[in-house]
């Protein structure tokens, strides 16, 4: 006897579950309810339609309800909201939003794919007509129409996450002057502070003004203009406002049915994605998942995991396979103007929140490398941060750069999924030709640096540790060339170029700890080895002057400059292939 499966909600998880159910069992009865008009659309592409990169609205529609019903022989009912689950009698109550009709639908198994909703806190004035959220096709149409008709010149984006920054870029592309307001001291929460500083610098170079560590106190709307009073007391004004301050799971239906939930309203599921009711499964943004790295419960609203969960649930319901969902590691990527920002696994902020300490429980390295061989035209810089435990197991990585970021983060994400260690990054044989990579791929390189640190061949000091050190006991040593020092240097640093270091060791004091630094850390490592081999105490400055300058030299406005590759010796600001 065929099973009847009812799915509540479409898009990534629900639509995938529907398709998998049909592919595995031609005779299963499948009914999908969606309270909106669209069950399968490219929600990640919405900002780019507003910005004009995606020209046709129809390109956002992955599939129509009519096409899905014809292709998969299923029952799809749009503008139909499931308002109650009667788990004792295995049925749901449904409201037809077009006609107001109320009726019940039975099920053998129920899949909840109810997703999430943008947060809209009770801030005074938040319902002004020029304040918008972006989450679905109707939101997109509303924003697009407002821009086309009202011709706004200024915009404020509240929230510096993925959608917020993508909207900042696309509104900028439409010719608006854009500001971003963010409660935290950085944008892009999945990455750590020093990596976010690269993004801050790039945003400012594009003319985007940042208001960090500042939230919204109230909105005041007057004749098409909204004035925002920030918690600091500062006031900013704009013709339109985009809210992107987070989401909440749509867990009300599950709560009313008595299904187990966490404190955030997320549905609790077991390893088979089954809720506290054996005939009800849940997937996507609405569920609590296991952090793949830390093995703690969390919530990660990403399309990739939701798709996988839809497939797993279909397999488990039909009994063809018994599959476990093995956790989410949060691999993500975003385009921020010319930059690509990517992360996978755990960041330092999360580790610190879990009580883990740097150097005691985990370590990290940070390097600046080129996207491909420096001598081949078009090489562009990228910064890679790698986090690993004392045994060398890879815990997470973040990459910010202009080219080749996606493939490097995917390689490291794969290594994490297979419980890889630093030695595995070194052993990887990755594709190489000058237009694509270097003989030592950036993934290999970050492995080499981490391996040197683990073996004690080098010690490092982070930018954030300098201010905590006793300045009477250490000496910064600038080992760059004269021309590089003219561009800028760290105050109170001694200047001895690397090539002259061996012949000038007699000028150094062996009672001091020396911290050599170069542009990106490569020559600093060489200097560190020379000093150590000659009986000096030494620690390389991680990331070199490039990281230090990014952390300490930013201003409210940064002049846009073309990104330049590093030479193969690690010299910064060299025009390669020009």
**Would you call 314 helix, strand, or coil by DSSP?**
helix
| Cβ contact 404:382 at 8 Å | yes
Cα(345)–Cα(292) distance, rounded to whole angstroms?
8
How far CA 446 is from CA of 87, 254, 304, 387, 389, in Å, comes to 52, 45, 26, 10, 15
| Cβ contact 463:543 at 8 Å | yes
Question: Is-catalytic flag, 518?
Answer: no
| Cβ contact 55:61 at 8 Å | no
Cα(17)–Cα(1) distance, rounded to whole angstroms?
20
The single residue of 44, 128, 428, 530 carrying the catalytic annotation is 44
Cα(191)–Cα(346) distance, rounded to whole angstroms?
9
Cα(93)–Cα(90) distance, rounded to whole angstroms?
10
| Cβ contact 528:537 at 8 Å | no
Q: Which DSSP letter does residue 505 get?
A: G
**Would you call 127 helix, strand, or coil by DSSP?**
coil
3-state secondary structure 33-95: EECCCCCCECHHHHHHHHHCCCCCHHHHECCCHHHHHHHHCCEEEECEEEEEEECCCCEEEEE
Q: Residue 216 has which token pair? A: 């919204």
Q: Residue 178 has which token pair? A: 């854009």
- For the annotated catalytic residues, the residue numbers are 44
């Amino acid at each position: 006897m065929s099973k009847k499966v009812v799915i509540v909600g479409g898009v990534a998880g629900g639509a995938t579950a529907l398709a998998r159910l049909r592919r595995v069992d031609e005779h299963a009865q499948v009914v999908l309810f969606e309270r909106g008009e669209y069950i399968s659309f490219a929600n990640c592409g919405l900002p780019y339609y507003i910005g004009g990169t995606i020209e046709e609205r129809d390109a956002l529609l992955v599939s129509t309800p009519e096409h899905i019903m014809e292709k998969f022989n299923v029952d799809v009912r749009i503008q139909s909201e499931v308002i109650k689950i009667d788990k004792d009698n295995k049925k749901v109550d449904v409201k037809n939003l077009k006609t107001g009709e109320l009726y019940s639908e039975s099920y053998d198994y129920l899949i909840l794919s109810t997703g999430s909703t943008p947060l809209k806190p009770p801030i005074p004035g938040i319902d002004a007509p020029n304040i918008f959220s972006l989450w679905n096709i109707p939101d997109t149409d509303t924003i697009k129409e407002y821009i086309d008709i009202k011709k706004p010149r200024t915009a404020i984006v509240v929230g510096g996450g993925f959608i917020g920054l993508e909207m900042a870029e696309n509104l900028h592309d439409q010719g608006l002057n854009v500001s971003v307001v963010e409660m935290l001291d950085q944008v892009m929460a999945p990455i750590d502070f020093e990596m976010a500083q690269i993004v801050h610098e790039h945003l400012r170079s594009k003319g985007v003004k940042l208001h960090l560590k500042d939230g919204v106190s109230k909105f005041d709307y007057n004749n098409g203009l909204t004035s925002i009073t920030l918690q600091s007391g500062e006031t900013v004004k704009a013709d339109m406002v985009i809210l992107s301050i987070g989401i909440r799971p749509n867990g009300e239906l599950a709560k009313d049915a008595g299904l187990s939930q966490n404190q955030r309203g997320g549905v609790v599921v077991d390893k088979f994605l089954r809720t506290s009711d054996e005939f009800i499964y849940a997937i996507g943004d609405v569920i609590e998942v296991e952090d793949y790295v830390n093995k703690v419960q969390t919530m990660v609203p990403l399309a990739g995991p939701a798709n996988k969960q839809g497939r797993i649930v279909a397999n488990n319901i039909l009994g063809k396979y018994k599959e476990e969902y093995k956790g989410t590691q949060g691999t993500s990527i975003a385009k921020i103007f010319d930059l690509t920002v990517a992360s996978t696994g755990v960041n330092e902020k999360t580790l610190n929140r879990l009580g883990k300490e740097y150097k005691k429980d985990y370590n990290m390295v940070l390097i600046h490398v080129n996207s491909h061989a420096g001598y081949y035209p078009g090489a562009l810089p990228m910064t890679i941060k790698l986090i690993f435990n004392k045994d060398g197991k890879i815990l997470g990585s973040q990459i910010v750069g202009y080219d080749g970021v996606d493939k490097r983060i995917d390689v490291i994400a794969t290594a994490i999924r297979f419980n890889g260690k630093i030695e595995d990054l070194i052993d990887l044989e990755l594709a190489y030709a000058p237009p694509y990579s270097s003989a030592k791929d950036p993934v290999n390189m970050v492995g080499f640096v981490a391996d040197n640190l683990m073996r004690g061949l080098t010690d490092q000091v982070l930018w954030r540790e300098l201010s905590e050190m006793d300045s009477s006991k250490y000496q910064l040593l600038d080992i760059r060339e004269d021309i590089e020092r003219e561009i800028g240097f760290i105050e109170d640093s001694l200047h001895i170029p690397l090539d002259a270091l061996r012949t000038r060791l007699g000028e150094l004091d062996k009672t001091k700890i020396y911290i050599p630094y170069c542009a990106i850390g490569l020559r600093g490592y060489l200097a560190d080895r020379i000093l150590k081999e000659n009986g000096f105490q030494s620690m390389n400055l991680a990331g070199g002057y490039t990281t230090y300058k990014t952390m300490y030299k930013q201003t409210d406005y940064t002049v846009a400059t073309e990104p330049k590759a590093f030479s193969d010796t690690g010299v910064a600001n060299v025009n390669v292939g020009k």
